[in-house]
């Protein structure tokens, strides 16, 4: 079963529900009247189709099932995070009671056992909730494995640990259709790239905040879904785009206030003015691209960044000059102006 098949079946079920509601409304308004045989045949066909989808693809066939499915996803996420935190503190609570050999055996056994458990559940759990929970747990065990083995054998911390962490998170994300682990993998790869650039420029690899521009190359994650097809994994392309935009907008926002951290050999105020202007231009381009391509997550990310940058600059310019009531009134008026602009933009797009 692929995510694409499940998503198509889920959309078909939603269209059936909408069709039934519209058919009932047309019947009440006496616009369309079906014979008893037609109604029974249509109902039987839809019930058979929905039953097949429920059994084979585990879809949410009605509003109640969708509500319960949302609760199950939240429970799965909270449970995974809670179990991971519990495992982390359990290790640190009793770690000093074991000798080095037992510690190594426990670390290797927990990592391998949790990984095998994840694959076993993934093969038997059609819904995917338990497999996703086990995938997060397996990733946490692996992170603890490498970090605590480094402490046992007194290995100097290195940014290279980010590569196997990211690789395992990526593997588990695609195997178990877990978007959270995909985001973690992309963050690991972006941090590794920034740390390598730090090291190549003569800085300590962990001083990631010294040169925010080192994160900018990781913004290329945004274009990966254009070259690597993600249609069989629903929501994965959106994760690539959002994480790529975060690696783009984050350094721009920081450097718009802290020009000393830039590689540009300009006065800090010029650097800040440059990145402020660049931030608004990039936000506008991203919103335009998102609207043009129908990428809602890109539009929302670009709009969110534009609002953060705009209101932070308004705070810098007016907070000390204006009375508090006038400052907030102006913010409200600007928000209303943005609302009117976006509404007209939406109507123009619909037209």
What are the tens digits of pLDDT across the range 60-102? 666 666 666 767 777 777 777 787 777 777 777 777 777 878 8
CA distance 295 to 238: 8
Task: Give the containing element (helix H, strand E) for 271.
Answer: helix 268-293
Judge whether residue 349 has pLDDT over 60.
no
Burial of 336 (0-12, 13-18, 19+ CB in 10 A): exposed
pLDDT digits (tens, 9 = 90+) for 270-323: 999 999 999 999 999 999 999 889 899 999 999 999 989 988 888 887 887 888
CA distance 118 to 121: 5
Mutual angle of helices 129-152 and 63-94, in 10-degree steps: 20
CB 309, CB 279: distance < 8 Å: yes
pTM of the model: 0.81
Judge whether residue 16 has pLDDT over 90.
no
Judge whether residue 215 has pLDDT over 90.
yes
Residue 169's nearest CA partner among 235, 98, 118 is 118
Q: Which of the pair, 210 or 98, is modelled with greater confidence?
A: 210
């Amino acid at each position: 079963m692929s995510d694409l098949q499940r998503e198509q079946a889920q959309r078909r079920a939603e269209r059936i529900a909408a069709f039934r509601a519209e058919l009932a409304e047309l019947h009440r308004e006496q616009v369309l009247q079906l014979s008893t045989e037609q109604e029974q045949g249509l109902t039987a066909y839809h019930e058979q189709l929905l039953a097949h989808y429920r059994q084979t693809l585990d879809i949410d066939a009605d509003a109640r099932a969708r509500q319960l499915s949302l609760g199950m996803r939240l429970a799965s996420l909270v449970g995974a995070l809670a179990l991971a935190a519990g495992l982390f503190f359990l290790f640190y609570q009793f770690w000093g009671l074991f000798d080095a050999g037992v510690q190594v055996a426990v670390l290797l056994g927990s990592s391998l056992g949790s990984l095998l458990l994840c694959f076993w559940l993934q093969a038997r759990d059609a819904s995917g909730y338990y497999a996703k929970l086990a995938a997060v747990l397996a990733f946490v065990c692996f992170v603890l494995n490498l970090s605590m083995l480094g402490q046992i054998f007194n290995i100097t911390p290195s940014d290279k640990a980010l590569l196997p962490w990211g690789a395992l998170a990526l593997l588990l994300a695609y195997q178990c259709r877990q978007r959270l682990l995909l985001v973690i993998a992309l963050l690991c790869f972006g941090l590794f790239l920034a740390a390598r650039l730090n090291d190549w420029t003569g800085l300590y690899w962990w001083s990631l905040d010294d040169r925010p521009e080192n994160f900018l190359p990781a913004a290329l994650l945004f274009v990966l879904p254009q070259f690597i097809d993600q249609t069989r994994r629903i929501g994965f392309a959106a994760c690539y785009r959002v994480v790529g935009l975060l690696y783009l907008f984050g350094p721009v926002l920081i450097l718009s206030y802290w020009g000393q951290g830039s590689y540009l050999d300009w006065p800090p105020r010029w650097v800040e003015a440059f990145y402020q202007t660049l931030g608004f231009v990039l936000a506008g381009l991203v919103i335009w691209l998102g609207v043009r391509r129908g990428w809602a997550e890109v539009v929302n990310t670009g709009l969110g960044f534009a609002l953060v940058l705009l209101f932070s600059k308004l705070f810098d310019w007016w907070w000390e000059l204006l009375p508090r009531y006038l400052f907030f009134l102006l913010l409200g008026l600007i928000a209303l102006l943005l609302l009117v602009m976006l509404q007209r933009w939406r109507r123009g797009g619909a037209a």
